[in-house]
């Protein structure tokens, strides 16, 4: 599968989203999502000892829906917790505990968010953040791979990860996307403010950064 794009990042982003919508409309993404969710199960099992809390996302625009798999993960151990991001006015994210059935509020971008004023749902510093990708790329240094995320353009995750990693160096940041969304240097290159992903999870497997 290839992605046609113009010269700007905005055009590239629009083309990637249109392609994802097209695949979803005809059902071509179903086997890809099924395979990705299988690899998510493997990831959760392999990292069971280090993950007590996971930040997920509320799926929009044909993103992979991880909620069912993660709710099952929580049911297996009641000490585990899930949380959802809340977008602050300063374009940083806070994470609040989430349980199935919670009432959510729409963000300024129309994304369902937890209510930060809900006294029954505490703010959480997650052990792992699962981050949806519009596109992604890979680069290499002498010691490791780097995975980079092309998002929706708001910069929320980059600002948040830069801050959280200072307080929590062992934070795991996992990109969620498809192999066809992988971009080469001619299409897109990460910028100095972009935060790398520790893992890229696609339908072909769990792609780790070498450490």
Taking residue 194's Cβ as centre, other Cβ atoms within 10 Å add up to 19
**From residue 137, how far is each of 13, 29, 42, 140, 200 by CA, in Å?**
13, 20, 23, 11, 10
Query: What sign does the dihedral 56-62-64-69 (CA atoms) show?
Result: positive
100 is in an annotated binding site: no
Q: Which residue has the tokens 């780790």?
A: 208
Place of tokens 């299409």: 187
Annotated binding site for substrate: 63
């Amino acid at each position: 599968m290839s992605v046609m794009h113009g010269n700007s990042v905005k055009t590239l982003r629009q083309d990637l989203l249109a392609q994802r919508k097209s695949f979803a409309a005809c059902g071509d993404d179903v086997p890809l999502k099924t395979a990705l969710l299988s690899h998510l199960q493997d990831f959760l099992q392999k990292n069971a000892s280090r993950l007590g809390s996971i930040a997920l996302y509320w799926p929009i625009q044909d993103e992979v829906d991880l909620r069912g798999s993660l709710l099952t993960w929580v049911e297996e151990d009641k000490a585990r917790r899930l949380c959802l991001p809340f977008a602050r006015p300063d374009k940083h994210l806070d994470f609040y505990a989430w349980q199935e059935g919670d009432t959510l509020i729409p963000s300024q971008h129309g994304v369902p968010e937890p209510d930060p004023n809900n006294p029954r749902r505490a703010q959480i510093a997650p052990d792992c953040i699962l981050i949806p990708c519009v596109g992604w790329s890979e680069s290499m240094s002498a010691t490791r791979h780097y995975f980079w995320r092309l998002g929706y353009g708001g910069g929320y995750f980059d600002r948040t990860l830069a801050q959280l990693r200072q307080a929590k160096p062992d934070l795991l940041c996992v990109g969620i996307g498809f192999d066809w969304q992988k971009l080469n240097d001619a299409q897109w290159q990460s910028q100095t403010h972009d935060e790398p992903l520790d893992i890229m999870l696609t339908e072909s497997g769990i792609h780790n950064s070498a450490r």
